[in-house]
Amino acid sequence: MEILNASLVNWSRAQFAMTAAYHWLFVPLTLGLGVMMAIMETKYVRTGDEKWRKTAKFWQTIFGINFAIGVATGIILEFQFGTNWSNYSWFVGDIFGAPLAIEAIVAFFLEATFISIMFFGWNRVSKKAHLTATWLTILGATLSAYWILVANAWMQHPVGMNFNPDTVRNEMTDFWAVALSPVAVNKFFHAVLSGWGLGASFVVGVGSWYLLKKRHVDFALKSIKMGAVFGFISFILLAVTGDGSAYQVAQKQPMKLASMEGLYKGKSGAGMVAFGILNPNKQAYNDTIDPYYFKIELPKLLSLLGYRDINAFVPGINDIVEGGYTLPDGEKALSFDEKKERGQLAIRALANYQKAKKEGRDSDATEYKNTLHENYAYFGYGYLTKGQDSIPHVPLTFYSFHLMVIIGFYFILMFAIVWYVVHKKKMETATWLQYIALWSIPLAYLAGQLGWIVAEVGRQPWTIQDVLPVQAAVSGLSTGNVITTFILFATLFTLLLVAEVTIMVKQIKKGPEL
Amino acid sequence: MDAKFTRSEKKFNWFSLFWEGVTHMSLLGKTLWIVVIIKLMIMFGVLKPFFFPDFLNSRYQNDKDKAAYVVEQLIDRTNHTQ
């Protein structure tokens, strides 16, 4: 038996978080810029205007830099599954492996096949064939994202599986329940649209830089106009899909929702915090300290968005830990202690099942298996000690969520203004707006990172919601090994990022070949 | 990024597409390929074999032993997680 410590779990989590955060610097620009350059090329094919061809080719070059530097950075996450999270990988292998395999076989190969025609084929295939290759490359990248997000969504809301105590694995019983889980579908649209928004911000920001430098003005205005329209639509749709995602969180991960809102004591007709400052002195869910220094609340909105009813009861952190409130399906919510008891019952049943099987006591084994399945939904609570263990880091989740939302609405406003100013043919002289657009690019990256912090920190302590907490999922490695690889990854990714920025800035300074 | 071809819209051929794409590659394209190759060599030649061996595969030969190890871990960690 290996004794684990918190340091190993935390370093393993930090390593995974760092890798995922770096990976998500590259992916959204691929998704967003890809669609925009495909639209530009479509305009070229439809109008025959050479300027659109050159515009599309310039952005394709930037896309290529980002794609080349970012490609395969996600594979490092898969390395970590096998090494750092081996219990998890074994426990979920059959289910988690399927979407990842589809991603690798179908989506990645679609992308890899057509990207060569996109880059090498401008003068070798017809305009329409090239355009088709461009769209198929983007489709491949987007489908890749879908299957990765299906895997992630399953961790947030495990469905379509049955735990087999003989193989100690969750086995897929319903592929479509996994592939079309509402959590996955919402997550996909929200994440991909965030990439579109980032791509638009990038195009408008870089276009504004050319205007500031008074270079390639016609190209810049064409790019900015398209970016503003595309960005405005993307961020409006982001708000819609964000609502869909939050609705799913309210139904499937109420603790995450309560943490996003810093809501400790639930209530009917709950308001949503528009702006608030948490009280850092609040250390435990059950202390008497007010969680807020200050907040501005929009009345009833949380109940409306979370449950589609302005008077619905939204459970707070205390309610979820203490239980006893009525769930939307009419059942009484279990307390943490009750869930823990059922989790321990499930784990004991697993141990007894294994023993009974070894000793050939088949009828006992059947009974233990039934007990295990009856209590499996709470399996992970058996690893937790006290109610506080089931609560994610509230300030990090809360501030990440609210800052992400604020940035989202900021971009709706910014793109609306840019669109209006471009329409009035005043963008070329609106220096103030050019600076704003340029310096807003990092904000789009920040919003994407914050979104993932909400999704992943907000679901702690679970690797699989309610079924497997991080301390049961992690491999029994030495903490020193994990720290070493953390430093290696940090170095590698930082070098890649420096390479990306250096090459990209050089290419942008060089400008389009007009 | 793309190759600088002098001929236009030749009959499509996969081999010549790649061959001419690679041989006529721009400086930027070559730089990116070098970055990609170095990156993949570090990832698969150094990181994976030396720092990221598959934990279970490196200790157990068959699925039965792996399952036995994981179930032991899942049962033991209920009481011994610090």
Coil, strand or helix: which one is A435? helix
**In which residue are the tokens 């949380």 written?**
A302
pLDDT tens track for B23-54 = 888 888 888 889 889 989 988 998 888 888 89
Q: How many Å separate Cα A187 from the centre of its chain?
A: 7
pLDDT at A377: 96
Residue of B20 and A346 predicted with greater confidence: A346
Of B21, B47, B71, the CB nearest to A116: B21
Contact B32 A169 (CB under 8 A): no
Provide the chain A residues 96-125 that lie in CB contact (below 8 A) with chain B: 116-117, 119-125
* Domain coordinates in residue numbering, chain B: 1-51, 53-82
pLDDT at A102: 83
B19–chain A Cβ distance below 8 A for any pair:
no
Region of A430 (left: φ > 0; alpha: ψ -120 to 50; beta: rest) is beta
d(CA A63, CA A67): 6
pLDDT at B82: 39
Scanning every residue of chain A, which has its alpha carbon at the shortest distance from the alpha carbon of B82?
Answer: A5
Q: Is the peptide bond before A165 cis (omega within 30 degrees of 0)?
A: no
pLDDT at A365: 96
d(CA B11, CA A457): 53
Chain A residues with CB under 8 Å of B48 CB are: 79
Q: Where does residue A363 rank: exposed (0-12), middle (13-18), buried (19+ CB within 10 A)?
A: exposed
d(CA B53, CA A126): 47
Chain A residues with CB under 8 Å of B31 CB are: 503
List per-residue pLDDT tens for chain A, 514 residues long: 444 677 899 999 999 999 999 999 999 999 999 999 999 999 999 999 999 999 999 999 999 999 988 888 888 888 899 999 999 999 997 788 888 888 878 777 777 788 888 888 888 889 999 999 999 999 999 998 999 999 999 999 999 999 999 999 999 999 999 999 999 999 999 999 999 999 999 999 999 999 999 999 999 999 999 999 999 999 999 999 999 999 999 999 999 999 999 999 999 999 999 999 999 999 899 899 999 999 999 999 999 999 999 999 999 999 999 999 999 888 999 999 999 999 999 999 999 999 999 999 999 999 999 999 999 999 999 999 999 999 999 999 999 999 999 999 999 999 999 999 999 999 999 999 999 999 999 999 999 999 999 999 999 999 999 999 999 999 988 899 899 989 988 998 899 899 889 999 999 999 898 6
Find the angle CA(A184)-CA(A185)-CA(A187) to the nearest 5 degrees.
Answer: 65
d(CA A238, CA A232): 10
Q: How many residues does chain A have?
A: 514
pLDDT at B79: 57
pLDDT at A349: 96
pLDDT at A107: 72
pLDDT at A106: 75
Contact A116 B18 (CB under 8 A): yes
Of B16, B54, B75, the CB nearest to A350: B75
A380–chain B Cβ distance below 8 A for any pair:
no
* ipTM at complex level: 0.85
Q: Where does residue A105 rank: exposed (0-12), middle (13-18), buried (19+ CB within 10 A)?
A: exposed
A302–chain B Cβ distance below 8 A for any pair:
no
Contact A484 B51 (CB under 8 A): yes
Coil, strand or helix: which one is A253? coil
Question: Do A259 and A316 form a contact (C-beta atoms < 8 A)?
Answer: no
Question: Do A263 and A302 form a contact (C-beta atoms < 8 A)?
Answer: yes
Chain A residues with CB under 8 Å of B33 CB are: 68
pLDDT at B1: 53
Contact B48 A475 (CB under 8 A): no
